[in-house]
Amino acid sequence: MTSTEDHGAVERGAVPTDQLLGFIRAMIEIRAFEEETQRLFMANLVRGSTHLCSGQEAVVVGACAVLRDGDSMLCTYRGHGAVLAKGAPLDRTFAEILGKAQGLCGGKGGSMHLTDISCGAYGSIATVGAHLPIAVGLGFASRYTGSQDVCLCFFGDGATNIGAFHEALNLAAIWKLPVLFVCENNLYGEYTALHLTTPIDRLADRAISFGIPGVAVDGNDVSAVFHTLSEAADRARAGDGPTLVEALTYRHKGHSRADPGRYRPKEEVAEWLARDPIDLARSALLERGIDPASLDELHRDAEDRVRTASERAQAWDEPDVQSRLQDVWA
Amino acid sequence: MTEVTFREAIHQALSEALEDDGRVFLLGEDIAAAGGAFKVTDGLMDEFGGDRIRDTPISEQAIVGTAIGAALKGLRPVAELMFADFTGVCFDQIANQLAKYRYMTGGQAQVPVTIRMANGAGGGFGAQHSQTVENWFLNVPGLKLAVPGSPADAYDLMLASIRAEDPVLFFEHKSMMNLKGTLDPDRQPAELGRAAVVRPGTDVTVVATQLMRVRADEAAAQLANEGISVELIDPRTLAPLDVATVSTSLERTGRLLIVQESPFGGSWGATMIAALMLDAFELLDAPPAIVCGDDTPVPYAGVLEEAWLPTTERIAAALRALMRR
């Protein structure tokens, strides 16, 4: 692999139908989760802010699918989908967002800090780019202990302009650490368009300065993401070091809460909505002869699971106020 | 009983921790091949190999972040940041990531990271390499702050820091590197969070750390010749801060002097005085006193830095003034 020379995304082959069905099921579930989260937020049941990943599901689902037991994953404050894709349970994830005792973090983290180490989700980090150096450490531990485990690290396009990004990729490169750096390029750093903050179009090209592969991939094509990350993971497990993957995708919603995202051109939004990652996977499955009714059923099932989990989480307890004094020190 | 310098004591503790526990590794700028800016890690790479003693780029965020990630996977990283002032470069990693990880994940993991760094004035290093920046971290719950004031405390606290399940910032005062002391095998080893009564006395309580402890001890010896009995206490860690040991001392002495090289505002000395005013006001026979560095950055020229940094004479004068009140 070398850095991309053209400005398009790399074409990738298809995955087996069963696997693609698994992917679409996971993406639909995440979309339903985010829609339910938005409802809960608008009903004033969620404090602070939420950052939905609707539209970006193919990146987290395709990438997390290459991981196995022992691997670790770090993500951002837009991390609901990543944590679910890594295997966190729906109900306890809702419970954390709702600030419940049974939440993943006992209600101390919230939407921006979803963490479930038991399934390899090592954290959602909410200062931009700060988790990239931590990913280097998770990768270093694999090297140090002689395991084949890799660390998958998601971050946004905005993070490529912060110092920690450069320090982390440089160190991972010189120590050849098994870290998969996945940039979810959704074209906006919070409210500001990428071209206003960044002098290059293809963020994968930043890999050149670290002497590591940089690959751009269609982040709305779940199979392409899976293939790209599979190659990166193989490299990492073989001891050949990190890869920077730029997954081109789009936020269906605004940056946070009720941000309608009016700073984005209508044509641009329409163009990307037409490339909804779930619709793309659905079309691919229909082309393979999958019955549309069975795909509709996937949607209904996902919505049922999500609703049930949300209701269960809403019924759970508030944290004991004394728990706020615990977990500062071991 | 062997005599060691402050530098040798830390080196020995690192060596022992590396020997005892394969999960312990060191990373930082110039620590391996060059043996560290203050030669504390000299020879460790030859002894333990380049996989465990690792030179890094000049990337403080990456150093601390790598230590955090490795600790989350069960390792015991000891990171070096060379000069403590450089924590400014990686403040987010320390204050937002290292300190908060355990809490905001509901205690899902420990983060047993030790960060070593050289702090303190007196060496002519100028404003960006001389500050006692441990005070920056007093308001960051989740961190422990070790400020050893003798070779034995440096040895004990270094081992305690590496073996602790919590993150510890470990400050090595650069003007104490050649200070000599003994590692008495019968001593009570220093612990994180427990102050030491360094010199027992009955007339006045002095609380000081690191270089100021050394100078306060000299001042106490002068005062002893004048018939004044000084009790010198070294908190040894600033978080947790052992106020109780000082409070107990005040029951005997009724007089308190804090000595620190940091400016007053937001300092550990100001915190200690505030805590004692809340809890032990009735024990005081006179208002508490404090000797501080000036409220300026640390200056460079010899006469300026000497005037900036509290001297033994200033401490002795403050003690005499306090005894007259």
% of chain A beyond a pLDDT of 90: 92
User: What pLDDT score was predicted for residue B207?
Assistant: 98
- Chain B residues whose CB is inside 8 A of the A139 CB are 69
pLDDT the model gives residue A190: 87
Average pLDDT (A117-137) is 98
Q: Which residue from B69, B97, B103 is facing A327, i.e. has the nearest CB?
A: B103
B56 falls within a domain = yes
Say if B201 falls within a structural domain.
Answer: yes
Q: Which of B51, B69, B108 sits opposite A134 (nearest CB)?
A: B69
Residue B190 falls inside a structural domain: no
Above 60 in pLDDT, residue A11? no
Same domain (yes/no): B250, B109: no
Work out the mean pLDDT of chain A and round it to a whole number: 94
Question: Is B67–A137 a contact, with Cβ atoms under 8 angstroms apart?
Answer: yes
What would the mean pLDDT of A87-111 be, rounded to a whole number? Answer: 98
| pLDDT the model gives residue A8 | 39
Looking at the structure of chain B, the number of domains it has is 2
- Confirm whether B110 is domain-assigned: yes
pLDDT of A5 > 70? The answer is no
pLDDT of residue A261: 87
Residues of chain B contacting residue A113, judged by C-beta atoms under 8 Å apart? 104-105
Q: Which of B25, B97, B110 lies closest to A134 in CB terms?
A: B97
Indicate the residue of B73, B96, B144 with minimum beta-carbon distance to A127. Answer: B96
The minimum CA-CA distance between A169 and chain B, rounded to whole Å, is 9
Task: Based on the fold, state whether residues B247 and B203 are members of the same structural domain.
Answer: yes
Distance between B273 CA and the closest CA of chain A, angstroms: 24
Tokens standing for A169? 């990729």
Do residues B32 and B173 both lie within one domain? yes
At residue A322, what are phi and psi to the nearest 5 degrees?
A: -65, -20
Instruction: Give me the pLDDT at residue A12, please.
Output: 53
Instruction: Point out the catalytic residue in the list B54, B129, B199, B213.
Output: B129
Are residues B271 and B211 both part of a single domain?
yes
Q: Do B69 and A133 count as a contact with CB atoms less than 8 A apart?
A: yes
Nearest CA in chain A to B109: A117
Could you tell me if residue B165 is inside a domain? Answer: yes
Instruction: Say whether residue B237 is in contact with chain A using an 8 A CB cutoff.
Output: no
Interface subset of B 46-85, CB within 8 angstroms of A: 51, 56-57, 59-75, 77
The strand pairing partners of B231, in sequence order, are B205
Q: Which domain holds residue B166?
A: 3-182
Question: Which amino acid is located at B173 in the chain?
Answer: H
% of chain A beyond a pLDDT of 70 = 96
Nearest to B65 among A108, A134, A142 (CB): A134
Asked if B66's CB is within 8 angstroms of A140's CB, the reply is: yes
Measured between CA atoms, how close is B240 to chain A, in angstroms? 10
Active site residue B11: no
CATH number for the domain that contains residue B218: 3.40.50.920
In a domain, B298, yes or no: yes
pLDDT tens-digit map of B125-147: 999 999 999 999 999 999 999 99
**For residues A311-328, average pLDDT:** 97
Interface test with B, best of A118, A134, A176 (most B CBs within 10 A): A134
What ipTM does the predicted assembly reach?
A: 0.96
Q: Is the pLDDT of residue A83 over 60?
A: yes
Q: Residue A7: is its pLDDT beyond 60?
A: no
Q: Would the CB atoms of A130 and B144 count as touching at under 8 Å?
A: no
The secondary structure of chain A, three-state, reads: CCCCCCCCCECCCCCCHHHHHHHHHHHHHHHHHHHHHHHHHHCCCCCCCCCCCCCCHHHHHHHHCCCCCCCEEEEECCCHHHHHHCCCCHHHHHHHHCCCCCCCCCCCCCHHHCCEHHHCEEEEECCCCCHHHHHHHHHHHHHHHCCCCCEEEEEEHHHHHCHHHHHHHHHHHHCCCCEEEEEEECCEECCEEHHHHCCCCCHHHHHHHHCCCEEEEECCCHHHHHHHHHHHHHHHHCCCCCEEEEEECCCCCCCCCCCCCCCCCHHHHHHHHCCCHHHHHHHHHHHCCCCHHHHHHHHHHHHHHHHHHHHHHHHCCCCCHHHHHCCCCC
My answer on whether B178 and B266 are in the same domain is no
Chosen from B104, B143, B191 to mutate, greatest number of chain A CBs within 10 A: B104
Partner A contacted by B28 (CB < 8 A): no
Chain A residue closest to B91 (CA)? A130
Each domain of chain A, given as residue ranges in start order, spans 17-312
Give tens-digit pLDDT for A149-205.
999 999 999 999 999 999 999 999 999 999 999 999 999 988 899 999 999 999 999
Let me know the angle formed at the C-alpha of A148 by B64 and A204, rounded to the nearest 5 degrees: 65
Q: Does B315 touch chain A (CB under 8 A)?
A: no
Mean pLDDT, residues A102-124 taken together: 98
pLDDT band at A13 (very low <50, low <70, confident <90, very high): low
**Same domain for B175 and B213?**
no
Same-domain status, B177 and B41: yes
Q: Are residues B60 and B99 part of one domain?
A: yes
Q: Within a domain: residue B187?
A: no
Which residues of chain B are under the pLDDT cut of 50? Answer: none
Shared domain check, B283 and B167: no
User: Which pLDDT does position B142 carry in this prediction?
Assistant: 98
Q: Does B203 touch chain A (CB under 8 A)?
A: no
Closest in A122, A171, A329 to B59, CB measured: A171
Q: Look up the CATH number of the domain holding residue B115.
A: 3.40.50.970
Q: Collect all residues of chain A within an 8 Å Cβ-Cβ radius of residue B77.
A: 137
The answer to whether residue A6 scores a pLDDT higher than 60 is no
Q: What is the residue whose two structure tokens read 């005085």? A: B273
Return the CATH fold of A17-312: Rossmann fold (3.40.50)
- B211 and B103 fall within a common domain: no
